[in-house]
Structure 1
Amino acid sequence: MGRKLARMRGLAGCVLLAAMLAGCGGIEPGRRIDSERVLNAIVADDVDYVHAAIKAGAVSPNQRIPAPGYREGTPLLTIAARSASLNVLRYLVAAGADVNARTPAHETALMLASFFMEDGGFLGVPSYGRHEQAARLLVAAGADLEGAPHGYTALSYAAYQGRDRTVRFLLERGARVDGYVEDGIAYIPTPLMMAAMMGQRTAALRLLRAGANARIRVNGGHTARELAVKHNQTHLAPLLACAERLAPGESFSRRCG
């Protein structure tokens, strides 16, 4: 009796496994599935479900689905980057997802990984660790550091948030410290301006030591120092004023600290 029961359990397990393989975890091959379920699976880093959905042909690695802030649909990879779902991110990259695909707001996965963070949970202290891993993963996979001409970059986003380790990483990988600038004019705020507006002193210092030009003006507007004052970040004004007075080729670190 015991041997028969064990055999029946074994057969039941085989039937369940066969059903999962044939239907990819309950997803019928070729069937379109609820995009909300895919979204929730990505956010939860449920790589098994995402793999099953792609294997069944329900979605593709470059699928766009609606997500908060992107009703028109955004690439799966951008959702994974925004939520730092590392297992899903690795799988999508390996499955051939376009690492430079953009959201409807023209943001790349790298930009989102450089901006967002995990909430502080019980202690209330935000964490960037998983998002930093996501950024590194994307760069290793060939993500463009710059993005579209005269647009925001991953470095801009990291500077805005004061993500110093990410700022350093992107600079080390060759990100343009000033972004896109023509004749001393930027069409959107430079990374230094982004840091200045938010009072991110550590990020501002790193950018200046990497050669950021404090004399650049945003089109029709201000320098980084003027933006710092405008946004009540006056503690950065002396530092940026010193940077504005640098002679061509003069080291920021030597003169201003």
Structure 2
Amino acid sequence: MSEHEDRTFDQSEVETLFLDAARDGQTDLVGEFISAGLNPNITNEKGYTPLILAAYNGHADTVRLLLESGAEVDRPDSKGSTALAGVAFKGDLPIATMLLGHGAEVDAPNHVGRTPLMFAVMFGRTNMARSLLAAGADADRKDGEGQSARDMALSAGQPDMLELFGITQ
């Protein structure tokens, strides 16, 4: 018998293990936690949910399981960002498509008014920006500083992004 076999974990430790499993893409373990009754919408100190962690780290199978198990697709972290904002920043089109397919709000703003499209533009994710625009993202919605995704594209001056927004220089 190993020294850990008789160890019991408190609720906080179990939740941390669940969040770690989601971040690491351990889909089977995430499924076991959910089957054992853990809420798929728990959060850590930064407000990250298992869905946000799995999506941001590119674990499509884990994201799918969480969505199918009742994870709230638009539950924000402590800064107001959703899973879609995280994948827009990273440029992960397959997971963005999955989130949108499960009803993610394409223009969900964070606490400073930045939308997933703005993150895609800010980080040069042209294919992601194209996909978000196709899903109905508003290129002219303003953030808290009065900037739109279109304004950000113009400021960045990236030819592909300018073309996407129909901006000529």
Distance (whole Å) between structure 2 residues aligned to residue 159 and residue 87 of structure 1: 26
Q: What's the offset of the Cα at 1:63?
A: 2.7
Conserved 8 A contact 2:120-2:126: yes
Counterpart Cα distance in 1 of 2:159 and 2:117 = 15
Residues 198 and 233, structure 1, Cα contact 8 Å, conserved in 2: no
Q: Which residue of 2 aligns with 1:137?
A: 65
CA offsets per residue over residues 61-92 of structure 1, 9 Å max, x none?
Answer: x4347xxxxxxxx6322111111112211111
Deviations for 1:103-158, whole angstroms, at most 9, x for unmatched residues? 21111111111111xxxxxxxxxxx4xx0001001000100011149710011111
**Shift in CA distance, 188/81, structure 1 to aligned 2, threshold 3 Å:** farther
Structure 1 counterpart of 2:113: 188
Aligned residue type for 1:78? L
**TM-score, structure 2 as length reference:** 0.85
**Structure 1 residues 221 and 205 mapped into 2: Cα distance closer, same or farther (>3 Å)?**
same
- Give the corresponding residue for 2:50: 109
Q: CA separation of 1:206/1:132 partners in 2, compared to 1, >3 Å: closer, same or farther?
A: same
Q: CA deviation at 1:221?
A: 3.5
Counterpart residue identity of residue 60, structure 2? E
Name the counterpart of 1:177: 106
Between the two proteins, what is the percent identity of the paired residues?
31
1:93-242 equivalences in 2 (<5 Å): 93-116=34-57, 128=58, 131-148=59-76, 151-180=80-109, 187-231=112-156, 233-241=158-166
Q: In the alignment, what sits opposite 1:83?
A: 24
Structure with higher strand content: 1
TM-score, L = length of structure 1 = 0.58
User: Unaligned 5+ residue runs, structure 1?
Assistant: 1-19, 32-57, 66-73, 117-127, 243-257
- Which shifted more, 229-238 or 160-169? 229-238
Residues 5-35 of structure 1, C-alpha deviations (whole Å, 9 max, x = no match): xxxxxxxxxxxxxxx6xx8x8522xx4xxxx
Residues 210 and 80 (structure 1), Cα distance of their counterparts in 2 relative to 1, 3 Å cut: same
- Of structures 1 and 2, the one scoring higher in RCO (CA 8 A, sep 6+) is 2
Give the root-mean-square deviation of aligned CA atoms.
Answer: 2.5
Choose which of 9, 21, 24 in structure 2 pairs with 1:59: 9
Instruction: Assess if the C-alpha contact under 8 Å between 1:197 and 1:233 holds in 2.
Output: no
CA–CA separation in structure 2 for the residues paired with 1:90 and 1:230: 44
Residue aligning to 1:44: none
Return 5+ residue gaps in structure 2 as ranges: none
